[in-house]
């Protein structure tokens, strides 16, 4: 399998299409015959990253990179950035709007869910610029 790259745009406040990129990524990985347990974990982590872009940013994109030894998802947004990453990583902490909360989002589980469902997980954020989240899954032991 050669390395493959895909990009999916994610719009701010588009709650109707939210989840579409994650869903497309899941379908792609299934077509490639990736282990279903890996797909499930990556789908959960990617969905959370996608929802965060919709709720908290001014828009962004999700890049999917598939290599014989790993799958990498990079969710990058333009926006306010995360002020305190340690605080944001705590379960239950959320800065979501009332509208998002009414829809069942903003439980403060997004970043913890991403970390729990990734083999490797990185958050980089710059105030006033945006956030880049990297989620990696190993496809071979030690990758």
Partner 1 sequence: MLIRDVSEKIGLRVLAGNVGLDKELTGLYICDLLSWVMAHAGKGDAWITVQTHSNVIAVAVLLELACVIVPEGIEVEEETLQKAEVEGIPILQSSMSAYALAKAFCKAGIE
Q: In what order do the strands lie in the sheet with 70-77?
A: 4-10, 60-66, 70-77, 130-138, 120-126
C-alpha separations of 55 from 35, 48, 79, 91 in Å: 30, 10, 11, 17
Q: Which residues on neighbouring strands pair with residue 70, listed in sequence order? A: 138
Near partner 1 by CB under 8 A: residue from 8, 10, 48, 60: 48
By CB under 8 A, name the one of 62, 105, 118, 130 that touches partner 1. 105
Binding range to partner 1, per CB under 8 A, among 2-10, 43-51, 78-86, 124-132: 43-51
Q: Which one of 38, 59, 97, 108 is in contact with partner 1 (CB under 8 A)?
A: 108
Contact 98/70 with Cβ under 8 angstroms?
Answer: no
Least distance between partner 1 and beta carbon 119 (Å): 17
Beta strand extents in the chain (DSSP E only): 4-10, 60-66, 70-77, 120-126, 130-138
Q: Per CB under 8 A, which region of 3-11, 60-68, 99-107, 130-138 contacts partner 1?
A: 99-107
Task: Pick one of 12, 15, 28, 80: the residue that binds partner 1 (CB under 8 A).
Answer: 15
User: Which residues make up the interface to partner 1 (CB under 8 A)?
Assistant: 15-16, 18-20, 22-23, 26, 40, 43-44, 47-48, 51, 103-105, 107-110, 112-113, 116
């Amino acid at each position: 399998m050669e390395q493959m790259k895909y990009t999916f745009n994610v719009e701010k406040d588009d709650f109707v299409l939210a989840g579409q990129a994650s869903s497309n990524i899941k379908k792609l990985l299934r077509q490639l015959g990736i282990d279903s347990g890996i797909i499930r974990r990556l789908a959960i982590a990617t969905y959370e990253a996608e929802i965060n872009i919709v709720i908290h940013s001014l828009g962004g994109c999700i890049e999917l990179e598939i290599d014989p030894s790993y799958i990498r998802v990079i969710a990058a947004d333009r926006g306010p950035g995360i002020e305190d990453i340690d605080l944001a990583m705590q379960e239950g902490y959320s800065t979501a709007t009332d509208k998002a909360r009414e829809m069942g989002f903003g439980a403060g589980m997004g970043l913890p869910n991403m970390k729990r469902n990734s083999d490797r997980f990185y958050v980089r954020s710059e105030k006033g610029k945006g956030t880049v989240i990297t989620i990696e899954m190993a496809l071979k032991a030690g990758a």
